[in-house]
Structure 1
Amino acid sequence: MASTTTTTPTTIDKTKPYFPLAGLATDGWSTEDEATATCFCGAVQLSFPTHGPGFVGSFVCNCSDCHKLTASIHATNFTVYDTHLKHLRGQENLKTFGQSRTVFFKTPGQDNTMTNYFCNTCGSLMYRVGAAFPGMSILRVGSVDDFSLHETKLRPTMEQFTKDRPSWKLPTEGATQFVEDGLHV
């Protein structure tokens, strides 16, 4: 008869800062008002506000752009005003890829360019800048160093492009649902 071992999962208090092993950098931090986001190799690090005038909001996006960019079925994002986004290191290491054929095409002749900023070393997508979102940058929650913020201050309040969400993925609990773009309603 085979022996089975039952283990009890370790419980983490997600209301307190939590920095698990996630990439090569070990210098991420958070305060009451600000936190860091770091690429996988640690070459690029940003700081951003976690609330207040510089923090716009957090959302899940199921659009086809996010499917391809994340190689997954959705992206969990947050938006901050560019005036509050700080490059702590590695800005010169960022490479860009932009294109104008995006899901945010609304008006013929309008600039629809979305520019993606990637770490040149490890390829991590650090943020996106879109003509449809002047003065703002869209960051990925997964790049945030303090994982407790995923559960608290960065918890999505909106889910957009639900028309492209796979049927086996449930709606994001507590988030307002939008069939298409929820940012321009």
Structure 2
Amino acid sequence: MSSEKHIEPVPSVVEADKSKPIFPLFTENANDGFSRRGEDEEASATCLCGKVQISVPTKGPGFKGTFVCHCTDCRKISSSMFATNFTVALSHLKYVRGKDGVKSYGQSETIGSPRNGHTMTEYWCDHCGRLMYRVSSGMPDVAFVRVGAIDDFSLHESVLKPDIELFTKDRVGWLPPLEGVKQHATTWLGRRSSL
């Protein structure tokens, strides 16, 4: 486990040794991220201000899968052209600190829940606004977490590397399909036993 305060920023994530944890320094209050490897693999996700920190599995029964999503929800929420996500069993998502500082917002008219009665709820830090995770009432036992929220950047290129691309029908034309990744025009939900 690596959990000491990280005081030196990584000069280049691209050039860093990814066999070891990589914790870029963001702020003085958000520099205590951790990752555990081995039998019970888990990692932290910390908001920008450091007030909220969660722990999620990166392997094992609580870890469900990784994907890139090009849907309109992910575009709007991430303020980008796509989002890289992973899913975990909500029962395996643990608050390290700051649960009382988390706010939520639910909406029923989303790409994942159009006119079907489901609500997608976002959970974020009430101080810095950092999205921590999302939960759909259609899959209430699953949390959708952004890969970029994970503090240990070495995991982004290993266990959290996406294996599916969703809503490719909405992918921008200048972005090619990810090599070696399954492609789905919309979603795989309902056609796959695990997320």
**TM-score calculated relative to the size of structure 2:** 0.85
CA offset at residue 22 of structure 1?
2.9
Partner of 2:160: 154
User: Are 2:182 and 1:166 equivalent residues in the alignment?
Assistant: no
Q: How does 1:120-131 map to 2 (within 5 A)?
A: 120-131=126-137
User: Are 2:156 and 1:183 equivalent residues in the alignment?
Assistant: no
Partner of 1:87: 95
3-state SS in 2 of match to 1:150? helix
Tell me, yes or no, if the aligned pair for 2:56 and 2:92 is still in contact at 8 Å: yes
Counting matched residue pairs gives 175
CA offset at residue 172 of structure 1?
2.0
CA offset at residue 105 of structure 1?
3.1
Structure 1 distance, partners of 2:190, 2:69, is 13
Tell me, yes or no, if the aligned pair for 1:15 and 1:152 is still in contact at 8 Å: no
CA offset at residue 162 of structure 1?
0.4
Instruction: Provide, for residues 86-128 of structure 1, a one-character-per-residue CA deviation record: whole Å limited to 9, x for no partner.
Output: 011111111111110011236x5x4320000011000000000
CA offset at residue 72 of structure 1?
0.4
Tell me, yes or no, if the aligned pair for 1:163 and 1:179 is still in contact at 8 Å: yes
Partner of 1:51: 59
Structure 1 distance, partners of 2:139, 2:166, is 15
3-state SS in 2 of match to 1:135? strand
User: Are 2:85 and 1:113 equivalent residues in the alignment?
Assistant: no
CA offset at residue 21 of structure 1?
1.7
Structure 1 range deviating more: 169-178 or 34-43? 169-178
CA offset at residue 132 of structure 1?
2.3
User: Are 2:70 and 1:67 equivalent residues in the alignment?
Assistant: no
3-state SS in 2 of match to 1:154? coil
Structure 1 distance, partners of 2:62, 2:171, is 29
Tell me, yes or no, if the aligned pair for 2:62 and 2:89 is still in contact at 8 Å: yes
CA offset at residue 163 of structure 1?
0.6
Tell me, yes or no, if the aligned pair for 2:44 and 2:150 is still in contact at 8 Å: yes
Tell me, yes or no, if the aligned pair for 1:129 and 1:138 is still in contact at 8 Å: yes
Instruction: Provide, for residues 32-80 of structure 1, a one-character-per-residue CA deviation record: whole Å limited to 9, x for no partner.
Output: 1111001111110000111110000111000000010011000111100
Partner of 2:150: 144
Structure 1 range deviating more: 165-174 or 135-144? 165-174
Tell me, yes or no, if the aligned pair for 1:95 and 1:118 is still in contact at 8 Å: yes
CA offset at residue 148 of structure 1?
0.3
User: Are 2:140 and 1:134 equivalent residues in the alignment?
Assistant: yes
Q: 2:18 aligns with which of 14, 20, 23?
A: 14
Backbone CA RMSD of aligned residues:
1.4
Partner of 1:27: 32
Percent identity for Structure 1 against Structure 2: 51
Kindly name which structure, 1 or 2, has the bigger radius of gyration based on alpha carbons: 1
Relative CO higher for 1 or 2, CA cutoff 8 Å, sep ≥ 6?
A: 1
Q: Which runs of 5+ in 2 are unaligned?
A: 1-11
